[in-house]
C-alpha cells in the first residue's frame, strides 16, 4: 500500500513538473543532507533549487536575489517551496506580481525579526495561492504567529501539531506527507 501511494505521488509530481518548476528555497545555512528539501531534490528531476554563495549570511536579500535569478533563467511558471528563512524570502517574491510565479508553499516560516527582515516581509496578502505549513512547537515561530502571518498573507494554514521546525532535527527526513501537501496544493493552481 505504501509503495503504491509513493508511486502515485511520483507520478503526480512528474505531471506537475511538466507544467511548473517546483523550486526549493532552503533556509539559513542551506538544507543538510538529511533535510526533506535535499531528499526531495534527490528523488528525480522534479525539483529545482536556488543556489547562492553565502548560505551562512542570514540576509534575506541574498535569498530574494537567488530566487529572482532562478525564475529569470527558467522562464515558465514556478511554485516556490520555502523553508524557514527561505519561506520568508519566498513571501517577498510573491508580492512582486511576477507572472512566472504560480504559488508558494511556506514551510515553518521563521519570525521575520530573527533575520532583521520585518521591514521586507510583506504585511499584506501575497496575491497568489499560498500555503503555510506550521508546527505548535517550532522554536523559530510560535504557532499563534504562524496563524497571524497566514491570515496576513491570505494563505491556507496546515497545522502539523507538535513537529518542531519541520526539519531533519525534528525527525522530518523524506517527509512524504509534505510531498502529498505539495501535490494537493499545486493541483489547485
3-state secondary structure 57-79: CCCHHHHHHHHHHHHHHHCCCEE
Q: Count Cβ atoms below 10 Å from residue 110 Cβ, excluding itself.
A: 25
Report residue 6's pLDDT band, with 50, 70 and 90 as the boundaries.
Answer: confident
Residue 112 has pLDDT above 90, yes or no: yes
Number of structural domains, the chain?
1
Chain centre distance of CA 159: 15
Give me the pLDDT at residue 4, please.
61
Give me the pLDDT at residue 7, please.
86
3 occurs within a structural domain: no
* Residue whose C-alpha is closest to residue 187's, from 115, 119, 131: 131
4 occurs within a structural domain: no
Beta bridge pairs of residue 107: 83, 133
Mean pLDDT computed over 42-62: 94
Q: Which residues constitute the domain of residue 93?
A: 13-29+37-53+60-187
Report residue 3's pLDDT band, with 50, 70 and 90 as the boundaries.
Answer: low
Residue 74 has pLDDT above 90, yes or no: no
Report residue 161's pLDDT band, with 50, 70 and 90 as the boundaries.
Answer: very high
20 occurs within a structural domain: yes
| Ramachandran angles phi, psi of 117, nearest 5° | -115, 10
d(CA 22, CA 16): 8
74 occurs within a structural domain: yes
- Pair 41, 151: CB distance under 8 Å: no
Element (H, E) at 89: helix 85-94
Report residue 1's pLDDT band, with 50, 70 and 90 as the boundaries.
Answer: very low
49 occurs within a structural domain: yes
CATH number of the domain that residue 46 is part of: 3.40.50.1820
- Pair 31, 38: CB distance under 8 Å: yes
169 occurs within a structural domain: yes
Relative orientation angle of helices 176-187 and 2-19, to the nearest 10 degrees: 40
- Pair 145, 174: CB distance under 8 Å: no
Mean pLDDT computed over 56-63: 96
> In the block, which residue shows the cell 523553508?
83
- Mean pLDDT taken over the chain: 94
1 occurs within a structural domain: no
Amino acid at each position: 500500500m505504501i509503495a503504491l501511494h509513493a508511486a502515485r505521488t511520483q507520478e503526480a509530481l512528474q505531471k506537475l513538473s511538466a507544467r511548473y518548476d517546483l523550486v526549493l528555497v532552503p533556509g539559513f545555512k542551506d538544507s543538510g543532507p538529511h533535510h526533506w528539501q535535499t531528499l526531495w531534490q534527490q528523488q528525480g528531476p522534479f525539483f529545482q533549487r536556488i543556489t547562492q554563495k553565502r548560505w551562512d549570511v542570514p540576509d534575506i536579500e541574498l535569498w530574494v536575489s537567488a530566487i529572482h535569478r532562478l525564475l529569470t533563467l527558467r522562464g515558465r511558471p514556478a511554485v516556490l517551496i520555502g523553508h524557514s528563512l527561505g519561506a520568508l524570502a519566498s513571501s517577498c517574491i510573491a508580492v512582486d506580481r511576477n507572472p512566472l510565479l504560480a504559488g508558494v508553499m511556506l514551510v515553518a516560516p521563521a519570525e521575520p525579526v530573527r533575520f532583521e527582515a520585518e521591514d521586507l516581509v510583506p504585511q499584506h496578502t501575497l496575491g497568489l495561492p499560498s500555503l503555510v505549513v506550521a508546527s505548535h512547537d517550532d522554536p523559530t515561530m510560535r504557532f499563534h504567529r504562524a496563524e497571524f502571518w497566514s491570515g496576513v498573507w491570505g494563505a491556507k494554514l496546515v497545522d502539523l501539531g507538535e513537529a518542531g521546525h519541520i526539519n531533519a532535527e525534528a525527525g522530518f527526513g523524506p517527509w512524504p506527507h509534505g510531498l502529498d501537501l505539495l501535490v494537493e496544493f499545486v493541483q489547485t493552481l
